[in-house]
Chains A and B, each alone.
Chain A
Amino acid sequence: MRARVLVRPKQGILDPQGQAVQRALPALGFEGVGDVRIGRLIELEVADPAQLPAMCERLLVNPLIEDYEIVEAAGAPASPLNGGAIGG
Chain B
Amino acid sequence: MKFGIVRFPGSCDDVDALEAARRVCDAELLWHQDRDLKGADAVIIPGGFSYGDYLRCGAIARFAPVMDAVAEFASDGGLVLGICNGFQVLCEAGLLPGALLPNTSLRFVFRQVRLELADPDTPFTRVCPATLSIPVKHTTGRYYSPDPVHVLLRYAPGENPNGSQDDIAGVCNEQGNVFGLMPHPEHAVDPLTGSTDGLTIFESIRAHVGDRALIH
Binding site for B on A (CB under 8 A): 13-14, 16-17, 20, 59-60, 62, 64-65
Contacts and interface: CB of A to CB of B under 8 A. Distances in A.
Given A62-B56, A62-B59, A65-B144, A13 B102 contact: no
Interface string B46-86: 00000000011001000100000000000000000000000
A65 B59 contact: no
Given A14-B101, A16-B163, 18 more contacts: A14-B142, A16-B104, A16-B106, A17-B102, A20-B106, A59-B59, A59-B63, A60-B55, A62-B56, A62-B59, A62-B92, A64-B99, A64-B144, A64-B145, A64-B146, A65-B99, A65-B101, A65-B144
Contacts of B59: 59, 62
Contacts of A14: 101, 104, 142, 163
B184 to A, nearest CB: 23
B163 to A, nearest CB: 7
Contacts of B105: 16
B120 interface: no
Interface in B78-132: 92, 98-99, 101-106
Most buried by A among B55, B98, B105: B55
B104 A64 contact: no
A43 B163 CA distance: 32
Contacts of B56: 62
A17 B163 contact: no
Given A14-B101, A14-B163, A16-B106, A59 B55 contact: yes
B144 A16 contact: no
A60 B146 CA distance: 20
22 contacts: A13-B101, A13-B144, A14-B104, A14-B142, A16-B102, A16-B104, A16-B105, A16-B106, A16-B163, A17-B102, A20-B106, A59-B55, A59-B63, A60-B55, A62-B59, A62-B92, A62-B99, A64-B98, A64-B144, A64-B145, A65-B99, A65-B101
Interface string B126-157: 00000000000000001011100000000000
Contacts of A64: 98-99, 144-146
A47 B60 CA distance: 22
